[in-house]
Amino acid sequence: MRISSAVLRQSGLPKPYATSRPLSIETLELAPPGPDEVLVKIAGAGVCHSDLSGINGDRPRPLPVALGHEASAVVEEPGSNVKDLKRGDHVVMSFLPVCGVCPSCASGRASLCEPGHAANASGTLLSGARRITCDGVEMNHHSGVSAFSEYAVISRRSMVKITDAISLTHAALFGCAVMTGVGMIVNTCKVSPGQSVGIVGLGGVGLSALLGAVAAGAGRIVAIDILPEKLELARSMGATDTFLATDPEATKEIRAATNGGVDYAVEMAGSPRAFEMAFSITRRGGTTASAGLARPDAIFQIPPVTLVADERVVRGSYMGSCVPSRDIPRYIDLFLAGKLPVDKLLSSTGPLSGINEAFDRLDRGDVVRHIIEM
């Protein structure tokens, strides 16, 4: 079938993207699903910094690629081996396919699925196949999803069936921002009621972490960003303290306000300076964790003596250390119960034709999450 899709053919074009147009809306050919794959009609797709990092060249991807990884959809046609989904079912995508049988999956660490990471790095589906072409030339899939498209063929291992009680626009947020941010708090850090949390970087993932900290019962939630308007939003979502990252006295003030630092400091900005700030506001015996994907050549520095003498913990968190089939339905249930108001992350919606302008707005920090509605 023929579909409209946003295609990235060259990274690193100059800003503004409304002028340079790194994403072109093209007509592609979409092959039928393989036995373990599903044809879906995309409903909503989030404009995320992980997409932006491919556009600006911070994280190189196989090109050309049909971009987009955070999405909700409706099942159109299950493959011949897919018996647990039917036409009309609602699904949320996982940006990492989970094979279920590799050593990482078998030990309960789905976010480290080895075949899934290999497929994403190669620009294929979990099976190794590519189902999209342009004039007979194969296109790469983005994170096994390629969500900035009218339709997509996706591995069954890259999607989670969800209730139709949530709107598909809101459901899209759970495919990356919520899964990563909330998962960081409850899975990676395992924050307990009354503990303190600092969050450096208040994009969609950082603010999702804030919501997760509120839901987990954190006693002190410190929000840090370079934009004053993000701090205002954080306060409205439950932050107890807010600080501008650009303030040269911020670290000193945070440590003073929290009696020596927070129990958990999480970095979501994807920069060494942000991580070093998170480390500096962590109390003795505390944990500093990062879900921010910096450039591959970025390096952060921490003093080993502090790591040892203060018994500090440094952790990474990919996909919120989630098992998507377990965690996405749980987080949606919390949203429906009013305990995880992720609708506050949604800044705006718009059509596929405005996608370059949407990335300009994301790059400027004008939006938390903009959803492309198909």
Residue-wise pLDDT tens digits, 21-53? 999 999 999 999 999 999 999 999 999 999 999
pLDDT computed for residue 186 by the predictor:
97
Q: What is the DSSP string of 242-310?
A: EEETT-TTHHHHHHHHTTS-EEEEEE-S-SHHHHHHHHHTEEEEEEEEE-----TT------HHHHHHT
User: What's the chain's average pLDDT?
Assistant: 97
pLDDT computed for residue 295 by the predictor:
86
pLDDT band at 194 (very low <50, low <70, confident <90, very high): very high
pLDDT computed for residue 290 by the predictor:
97
Strand partners, 371: 46, 349
- The helix-helix angle for 228-236 and 204-216 (nearest 10°) equals 30
Residue-wise pLDDT tens digits, 123-166? 999 999 999 999 999 999 999 999 999 999 999 999 999 999 99
Check pLDDT > 90 for residue 348. yes
Max Cα–Cα distance, the chain, nearest Å: 63
- For 130, residues 6+ apart whose C-beta sits below 8 A from its C-beta are 123, 124, 138, 139, 140, 141
What is the rounded CA–CA span in Å between residue 71 and residue 361? Answer: 19
Residue-wise pLDDT tens digits, 248-260? 999 999 999 999 9
pTM for this prediction: 0.96
Residue-wise pLDDT tens digits, 260-297? 999 999 999 999 999 999 999 999 999 999 999 888 88
Q: Which amino acid is at 184?
A: M
Check pLDDT > 90 for residue 234. yes
